[in-house]
Structure 1
């Protein structure tokens, strides 16, 4: 069922939530089609979408999955001097290869995700740029070994639609693991031009993409479908979570017995509070991102959800003091302010 959070109704009404779910399933769904599914006009869907964007509530971007390109995803925990952590997080948020930049509750640790697309840029980030920053006192890099797909993407509004509406929307497109591919995908300059526009606006019109690539609109559509099928391209929705009733965001770092990794990861992927879960290398073997109504909700998740799972030998919980960047957007006072 959808998780109702305090304060949501002031930001998103029921129709907004149904529109959001449609966009989560298919970020580029034509508004005419989505309106027909939801039994409202195309103009109503378009107006509601524009309003949510203008209020800084959501943003859609096309993201590159570096794994099918032959590279790894890394989750970084960067220790800093207490006085320099805020400035460090601000600087890291402006690097295009880094996403999900947050200052953790220790006040002197920044967490982020690296999606460097070349080995040279990865080494520059992990071995030179970040360690060489004066305020950095330590770095732990966790390579993502396996991403566990969620049973439903957050904010989990599917229960607000009828079974017929859900069938009409379809199942959506999961991000594909590299293991499915025979060889890394090579991107052309025209691909890069298209992807750069989609990173700023995941719903950019085909005509705009055609002008940037020199292709016809049908060719753009075919190539986009190929990149989606390969898993190189996926569409992500960034939300202003604080404006949707979320007051606590946290990461959990788990030590899980190897034989139990798959079962624990699959179980966490069904939890309404979990927005991301992966098995990783490093001193902990699994990490998950959480959204909770409040600290009491977080406590219940740790004691009841995690406590019921076999195989977990140690848990560290690190709430976020402030989120500086999500997948593609910069944040300020809980509002989407700038697309990078």
Structure 2
């Protein structure tokens, strides 16, 4: 077992507790809505230069326009990043290296949830491809610029769905069958396993890798589902809506992981009451604590990504 739940954290930690980030640069994937937007807003308010990475340049530009409406002094840069195509991730690297001297924070936030069976540009199940593979590739491609600063941080956003995920990774192209719930859970399990294994690999470089989950937050992950949720799914969301928290609250665990002096590499943060609440150290899936399984996922992922590295 990891030691991520043995240390207390600040009670009722809020964005006002984020230290001054003047001179720091942060890249956030999926920064145009939900958790990503709230994270971009909070970091910019603490004077970080925020790279707003979105699927299209139009989405990034629109997001920055909204962000500047409440923070005219904020420093933002748009970045087009289509995580459904690993070639696009490769193309982004030189742009970032040309435009920025260093990268203090990388927040692997973007994600998709419960789509109909869809394959990525490289033929992998889309949730596993976007949520895990593309973020792993992005992280590895950006390590040279991340390691320029000591104690830079990489935060990978997972979900409580990790506890329903399975290891094995033998159906990555959905060639045997497709279950949208299972695929999503597997991708979120992969997220936290990647974050923990990455931290082990980077200890000698003094880079921190952490994971965070938002609990159940009201974001466009639910409303963006296509086709629309079934009547049963819609009823369930309405039934449990009172326990959902805002995107702003849901973003606190990843903000804590990204900025708090108390956060340590290998930590996993989530809401105090699991579904909602202020940040606290949270347990991870037993599979994520299995070093052999983490190494297995890492090696299988590298086999896929090898041609893009």
Structures share fold, TM-score greater than 0.5:
no
| Alignment TM-score, normalising by the size of structure 2 | 0.25
Q: Which has the higher contact order (CA 8 A, sep 6+)?
A: 1
Point out the structure with max Rg over C-alpha: 1
Question: Where is the helix percentage greater, Structure 1 or Structure 2?
Answer: 2
Question: Where is the strand percentage greater, Structure 1 or Structure 2?
Answer: 1
| Alignment TM-score, normalising by the size of structure 1 | 0.24
